[in-house]
Structure 1
Amino acid sequence: MTVAQRHGRRIMMTPAELDSFLAEQRTCRVATVSADGRPHVSALWFAWDGRALWLYSLTRSRRWSEMRADPRIAVVVDDGEEYGELRGVELSGTVEFVGEAPRTGEPFPALEAPEQLFAAKNFGLDVMPHDGRHAWARLTPDAIASWDFRKI
């Protein structure tokens, strides 16, 4: 993974700050592109495992079909109200689809850790509930840019 920023290194998050920020935030915005080139941005819950962003998406959504057709995406996670509080991360790369789609809960070792993280963070549960409507996409970012205006 490369750091995509040349400017703003003063406000860039350290790796530990980035991990902490992504572990505590719940919602990201996923940017996809339709077959005719129109951009589409949608909000989604996620889990961060220290290397990859795990996206749990409805399989009957525009986002899912666009990711299946063109797996290149960009994701933004941000926080803050006042200018001096703004912080965030932009991650980009190509998603990989992991497990069955839709996910029904069949044992799948590669999903044990992200499902445990996701269930604890978003539902306060030890075990991931499955509704047969969602599936997993993993973004191991090619590039990451971050900012934390609290450092100014």
Structure 2
Amino acid sequence: MSRRDQIKMSATEVAEFLSSQRVINVATMGPKGRPHLAPLWYLPRVDDVEAPRLETWTYGSSQKVANLRRLPEATVLVEDGEQYEQLRGVSMECDVELIDDADETLRIGIDLMHRYTFEDESVEVPPSLVDVLRKQAAKRVGIVFTPTKVVSWDHSKLGGVY
């Protein structure tokens, strides 16, 4: 078995990893053909481990949105680890859907609030905070990343043998 095969994560491991991490790095193609890289908070949608998706929102006037309107494709990286034997990550080439609907964008904003502030989906976001998110949603777009290719690695599977 190759080293590459030894460190590859299963679909379930990829879903668990995406659910445990907090930041994605999103690469889009800029207007001059150079990559534009930006970190974002995200929502892992991994109910179907064979077909994970990621959702987020960002300002509609951002460079990454301009890039995605021109070419709705991105590469997304989620990585973790400080030392070689701890390195884990998932890189996904994705088709991208931009969501301009304010209600759907608000839903993403509320879900992000749950994940990053309340960390408990049973906690209801207070109406006053929903109003703040609604105002933010008016300036934002939702982004859905659907992977077409997934590459993963978990160096801890090598058991210290390199």
TM over 0.5: yes
| Off by >4 Å, runs of 4+ in structure 1 | 114-117
Q: Kindly indicate whether the alpha-carbon contact (under 8 Å) linking 1:28 and 1:44 is maintained by their aligned counterparts in 2.
A: yes
Aligned residue pairs total 140
1:13-35 alpha-carbon deviations (Å, 9 max, x no partner):
11111111111111011001122
Tell me how large the CA RMSD over aligned residues is: 2.3
Choose the corresponding residue for 2:9, options 13, 26, 45: 13
Q: If the length of structure 2 is used for normalisation, what is the TM-score?
A: 0.76
Task: Please state which structure has a larger fraction of its residues in helix.
Answer: 2
Structure label with greater radius of gyration: 2
Name the residue aligned to 2:49. Answer: none
What aligned pairs does 1:51-130 form with structure 2 within 5 A after superposition? 51-100=52-101, 103=102, 106=103, 108=104, 112=107, 117-124=111-118, 126-127=124-125, 129-130=133-134
Q: If the length of structure 1 is used for normalisation, what is the TM-score?
A: 0.81
Cα distance in 2, alignment partners of residues 89 and 126 from structure 1: 31
Name the residue aligned to 1:22. Answer: 18
Matched letter for residue 11 of structure 1:
I
Is the alpha carbon distance of 1:7 and 1:69 closer, same or farther for their aligned partners in structure 2, counting shifts above 3 Å?
A: farther
Identical amino acids, percent of aligned pairs = 29
Q: Kindly indicate whether the alpha-carbon contact (under 8 Å) linking 1:26 and 1:121 is maintained by their aligned counterparts in 2.
A: no
Is the alpha carbon distance of 1:117 and 1:146 closer, same or farther for their aligned partners in structure 2, counting shifts above 3 Å?
A: farther
SS of match in other structure, 1:142: strand
Matched letter for residue 82 of structure 1:
Q
Structure 1 segments unaligned to the other structure (5+ residues) = 1-5
Matched letter for residue 84 of structure 2:
Y
Name the residue aligned to 2:152. Answer: 146
Cα distance in 1, alignment partners of residues 21 and 39 from structure 2: 13
